[in-house]
Amino acid sequence: MIKQIKEAADYILNLGVKLPEIGVILGTGLGNGFIQHVKDPVIVDYKDIPHFPDSTVEFHKGKLVYGEIGGRKILAMQGRYHYYEGYSMQQITLPVRVMKALGVKNLLISNAAGNMNLKWKKGELMLIDDHINLQPDNPLRGENYHELGPRFPDMSQPYSKILNEKLVSIARQKDIKLNVGVYACVSGPNLETRAEYRYLQRIGADVVGMSTVPEVIVANHAGLPCCAISVLTDDCDPDNLQPANIEEIIAVAGKAENSLTDLYIGLIKSL
């Protein structure tokens, strides 16, 4: 694992990626808008980076983009790895460990999620304040490498209070509706049944998705402050459930992308 992180980081360093300060992970249907703001981008295909698996999901780009936004050096993942694609938890979180090794100081994450909170609507955004991990595996299972982090990382505040407070205030300034709540992480790839949505609501989740939490666990292990915003792409009311339409989910993510980009660019400039 240590060797893999080093080999991937060395490869990226040799392409001229020097001291990125802020890492960004762009989720399903998101990214094009954000990437347009990157000045003088250096673009690397995941498939060329040692130990980065080939991304299998066609609407995920699978590119690492390095450059400047508002004078800050950022390293963005356009597309991420998901557990449902068949990779191990260690594989899907390798990019976070590589970002940390390259010197990233803050990690900004986004995802598409199903909305179960009846007060909110699809197309809105939710700042993740906390999560419930329902995936059947954990990226920290197995031998712990002390140089990467502790055996039993604390999770009392998995999403940085500082970053979250900044985002709430930026959203207020920009008049963007930013809900705050709990993200439940499932393995997928199937969407949930009505009984599962009801269960997820009862255990305290507002939204559900298939990503982010493994990355957040590894970021916490590494002492890397992170934040995450969900784009609510579909309404998942168990008493009025419509069949899921993946094309529509992606289209809704695309429409909400401007507000998400605005928030993250505001945050980057404030760091």
Measured CA to CA, the distance from residue 222 to residue 250 in angstroms comes to 31
192 binds ligand HPA per the rule CB under 6 A: yes
Measured CA to CA, the distance from residue 166 to residue 267 in angstroms comes to 7
Q: Please state the closest distance from residue 230 (CB atom) to ligand HPA, in A.
A: 9
Measured CA to CA, the distance from residue 52 to residue 92 in angstroms comes to 9
Of 83 and 264, CB closest to ligand HPA: 83
Q: Please state the closest distance from residue 247 (CB atom) to ligand HPA, in A.
A: 12
Q: Please state the closest distance from residue 112 (CB atom) to ligand HPA, in A.
A: 4
Total length of the chain? 271
Q: Please state the closest distance from residue 50 (CB atom) to ligand HPA, in A.
A: 30
Closest residue to ligand HPA, judged by C-beta, is 114
The answer to whether the CB of 229 falls within 8 A of the CB of 107 is no
Q: Please state the closest distance from residue 233 (CB atom) to ligand HPA, in A.
A: 5
Q: Please state the closest distance from residue 162 (CB atom) to ligand HPA, in A.
A: 28
Q: Which x/- pattern, by CB under 6 A, does the window 111-150 give for ligand HPA?
A: -xxx------------------------------------
Measured at the alpha carbon of residue 86, what is the angle toward residues 54 and 115, in degrees to the nearest 5? 100
249 binds ligand HPA per the rule CB under 6 A: yes
Q: Which x/- pattern, by CB under 6 A, does the window 208-247 give for ligand HPA?
A: xxx----------------------xx-x-----------
Which residue stretch of 48-56, 145-153, 157-165, 185-193 sits at the interface with ligand HPA (rule: CB under 6 A)? 185-193
Of 109 and 236, CB closest to ligand HPA: 236
29 binds ligand HPA per the rule CB under 6 A: no
Of 23 and 27, CB closest to ligand HPA: 27
Nearest CA to 203 out of 114, 115, 120, 132 is that of 132
Measured at the alpha carbon of residue 10, what is the angle toward residues 94 and 69, in degrees to the nearest 5? 75
Cβ–Cβ contacts within 10 Å for residue 104, how many?
25
β-pairing, 125-133 with 178-185? parallel
Residues 6+ apart with CB under 8 A from 240: none
Token representation of residue 28: 């399903």
Nearest CA to 161 out of 180, 147, 183 is that of 180
Residues 6+ apart with CB under 8 A from 87: 53, 81
Among 64, 191, 205, 256, binds ligand HPA (CB under 6 A): 191
Binders of ligand HPA among residues 64 to 103 (CB under 6 A) are: none
Residues binding ligand HPA (CB under 6 A) = 112-114, 186, 188, 191-192, 208-210, 233-234, 236, 249
